[in-house]
Structure 1
Amino acid sequence: MTRTVLVTGGSSGIGRAIAARFADDRAEVVITGRRADAVERAAKELGVRGVVCDATDPGRVAEVAGQLGTVDVLVNAAGGLPPEADGDGAALELLLAQWRASLAQNLLGAVLTTASVRDSFTAGGRVISIGSIGAERRGGSYGAAKAALAAWNASLSGELGPLGVTCNVISAGYIAGTDFFRGGMTDERHSALVAETHDKRPGTVDDIAATAHFLASPGARHITGQTIHVNGGAFTTR
C-alpha cells in the first residue's frame, strides 16, 4: 500500500533530502515550505506535491491538514536559525523577538503541524522531528528550542503510542551542503566542526534522510520517545 508522507520544510536542505528518499520509495509525498518559488521548484524536481504553508500559521496549517486525508509519516523538518536583529529597538525587545522566532520556527511549527494531523494518522504511523546538536551545547535560543523539541517529543510519544504511532527526534550534527549558516561558514569553522567528530567527516543530508527512512520502517516499530544522535560522534550518549 502506498504511504502518505508529509514533510515540512521540504523544499531545501535536510527536508528535501528526506522527501526525495521517500519519493524514491514510491510514497505519496507532500512537501511544505514558506516560499512559493522554492516549493514549486522542489516539488517539480522531486515529482512530489508541493504546498505553500508556514508551519507557524495555525490557520494555514489546519487548512493544509484538511486536504491530506490519512497520514502515514510526518517529518517535521522546518526550522533554522532566527533572523538577524535589524538593530532597531531596545535590546530586550530584540532579544525577545529572537527567542520568539527560534521557538516558533523550531518548536511551535512542529507542535501545530503534528496536532493538525493527529486524527489522520494510520495505525503504525510515524512522527519524525529534526533536532540539533545545538540542543546539547552552545546553541543559544536555537539550541534551547531544539532541546524543547526533544522534551515535547517524549511527551508526544506517550500520548500517541497507544494509538500505534511512534515519535522520535533525529538530532543532527554539522551537516555540510545546506544553507543553514546562511553563507557564514568559513573554512576554519568547517575544519573545527569536522575535527570534533570521531569519523572525521561532516554529515550529509543523505545521512539524515537514511535515518528518517529507517525510523519509518517496520524495523523501527518499537523505537519511540527517543532522540537519535546523528553527528559522527561529536556528541555521545550512553
Structure 2
Amino acid sequence: MVKTTVVTGASSGIGAAITARLAKEGYQVLAVARRADRLAELAERTGATPYVLDVTDVDAVARFAATVERCDVLVNNAGGAFDAATLEAADPEVWRHSFDVNVLGTLNITRALMPALLAAGGATVVTMTSTAGFAVYEGGGSYTAAKHAAHALSGTLRLELSGRPVRVVEIAPGMVKTEEFAVNRFAGDVDKAAAVYADVDRPLTADDVAECVAFAVGLPIHVNVDQLVVRPLAQAAQHKLHRGPLFDGEATR
C-alpha cells in the first residue's frame, strides 16, 4: 500500500526538500503551501500533489482535511522568522504573525488531520521546531518564543496520544542555509542575511534536514524519535559558532 504524507510549507527550502525526499521513498506526498506557482514547479519535479493552502486559515484547513481519508505521515514544516527586532522595538503584529504560522498553523493542521492519522493504524506526526525552541538570543524574541511554544505543542501531543498508534517526532535544526529564511527575517536585506552564514564551513542544507525526516519516519512504527536535534559541525551550541575552515580540502564524506 502506498503511504500518504502531508507536508506543509512545501513550496521552498526545507519543505520542498522533504517533499522531494519522501516522494523518492515512494510516498504519495500532498504538498501544501500558499504559493501556487512554486507548488506547480515542485509537483512537476517530484510527482507530489499540490494543494494551495494557508495553514492559519482554520476553515480552509478543514476543507483540505475533508479530502484526506488516510494520512500516514504529517510533516508540520510551515513556519519562519519574520524579524530581528529587540523586545523594546518589537511590533506586536509581527509576533502575532509568528505565532499564527509557527504555532497555530501547526495546531490547525494537526487537529484537522487527526481522524486521517488515526485511520492509518500507525501514523507519524513530525513537527519542525528549531534549536531556538530551547535557547534564546538577542533580537530573536518573536521566533524563539514561537518555537518554544511549538516544542511544547509537540511534547503535549505526544502525551495526549499515548496509547494510540501515532508517533510524535520533533526535529530541531540549528543553522540551516536556505534561500529565504534569513532574507525573510531581515525584511529582504540580502547583505544582512548573508552575514549570518559568513565564513561558516558547511552550514546545514535543506537536504540534510530532509534526510533526518526520512530517517525518523522510516524507522519501524514502534520506534519513536521523540526529539532529534541536528546542527552543522561548526555550531557547537546556539551561542557557539565557529567561523573559518574546518577541513583541509574536501571532506571525506
The TM tier, using the shorter chain, reads 0.7 to 0.9
Q: Residue 212 of structure 2 corresponds to which residue in structure 1?
A: 211
Pair 1:212–1:221, CA change in 2 (3 A): farther
Deviations 1:40-99 (A, max 9, x none): 2211221110000000000000101111110000001111122799xxxxx98x722111
Aligned residue among 104, 107, 111 for 2:103: 107
Q: How far, CA to CA, are the matches of 1:79 and 1:103 in structure 2? A: 9
Q: Residue 197 of structure 1 corresponds to which residue in structure 2?
A: none
Q: How far, CA to CA, are the matches of 1:82 and 1:188 in structure 2? A: 17
Contact 2:43–2:50 under 8 Å retained in 1:
yes
Q: How far, CA to CA, are the matches of 2:223 and 2:34 in structure 1? A: 34
For 2:212, the aligned partner's letter is T
For 1:4, the aligned partner's letter is T
Contact 2:19–2:31 under 8 Å retained in 1:
yes
Alignment of 1:108-147 (within 5 A): 108-121=104-117, 122-135=120-133, 136-138=135-137, 139-147=140-148
Q: How far, CA to CA, are the matches of 1:7 and 1:181 in structure 2? A: 21
Alignment of 1:3-22 (within 5 A): 3-22=3-22
Unmatched 5+ stretches in structure 2: 184-189, 239-253
Q: How far, CA to CA, are the matches of 1:147 and 1:220 in structure 2? A: 27
Q: How far, CA to CA, are the matches of 2:151 and 2:214 in structure 1? A: 19
Identical amino acids, percent of aligned pairs: 33
TM-score by length of 1: 0.86
Q: How far, CA to CA, are the matches of 1:165 and 1:137 in structure 2? A: 31
Contact 1:5–1:29 under 8 Å retained in 2:
yes
Q: How far, CA to CA, are the matches of 2:207 and 2:104 in structure 1? A: 26
Q: Residue 191 of structure 1 corresponds to which residue in structure 2?
A: 198
Q: How far, CA to CA, are the matches of 2:63 and 2:9 in structure 1? A: 17
Q: CA deviation at 1:169?
A: 1.3
TM-score by length of 2: 0.81
Q: How far, CA to CA, are the matches of 2:179 and 2:141 in structure 1? A: 20
Deviations 1:110-163 (A, max 9, x none): 111000000111122000011112222323111110111011101101122321
Q: How far, CA to CA, are the matches of 1:181 and 1:189 in structure 2? A: 8
For 1:137, the aligned partner's letter is V
Q: How far, CA to CA, are the matches of 1:159 and 1:14 in structure 2? A: 28
Pair 1:221–1:236, CA change in 2 (3 A): farther
Contact 2:177–2:203 under 8 Å retained in 1:
yes
Pair 1:7–1:190, CA change in 2 (3 A): same
Contact 1:6–1:75 under 8 Å retained in 2:
yes
Q: How far, CA to CA, are the matches of 1:37 and 1:208 in structure 2? A: 24
